[in-house]
Structure 1
């Protein structure tokens, strides 16, 4: 199983989550609001209102999720990072597997 960490503008987060689940690229996507501080093109951006998306998928589906999400994402350089779980409860792993196949 894989969890994909994604950041996006708050107004785009729900649409991205729905897209990932509808296309069966993710079984589930959690959205959390956050404030980000970063440097972009030499300028500091502070307290930027963003959302964090946690998408549950499989290692097999991740390459397609990454490809399609990178195309659909509104940021020029989207944050898309994959975490692979070493341990996961079997019932949840089975559910994720069934939803993305």
Structure 2
């Protein structure tokens, strides 16, 4: 089963650094830096807004929990928003590519 993880980062450099580490750790097969997103949020009872870089990480479902934990540990925010989920469907070639990650562990 394939899985995706989404996390916003404060800047492109930190997003690239975390993605590079996870690639090196073989916890993901790909990270798409989606570009700048506008974030509107409530945090600690106050509303705020900011600009962030959205990142979509692609992995095998068996590595999802480890990858989420690693992103949290490396993320520059004290309390990062890291959301992961297993995919209901994936193309056959994509699924095979991501499944190969667990065999390289």
Deviation at 1:67, TM superposition (A): 1.7
Q: Per-residue deviation at 1:82?
A: 1.3
Paired residue for 2:90? 88
TM-score (norm 2): 0.85
Alignment partner of 1:37: what SS?
strand
Alignment match, 2:55? 53
Contact 2:5 2:56 in 1 (8 A): yes
Q: Counterpart of 2:82 in 1: which secondary structure?
A: strand
Residue number in structure 1 paired with 2:42: 39
CA RMSD of aligned residues (A): 1.4
Gapped regions of structure 1 (runs ≥ 5): none
Task: Report how many aligned residue pairs link the two structures.
Answer: 100
Q: How far has the Cα of 1:83 moved from its partner?
A: 2.3
Q: Normalised by the size of structure 1, how large is the TM-score?
A: 0.88
Segments of 5+ residues of structure 2 without an aligned counterpart are none
Q: Note the alpha carbon deviations across 1:55-78, whole angstroms, 9 max, x for none.
A: 001121112112221111111111
Summarize the alignment of residues 19-30 of structure 1 with structure 2, pairs less than 5 Å apart: 19-30=21-32
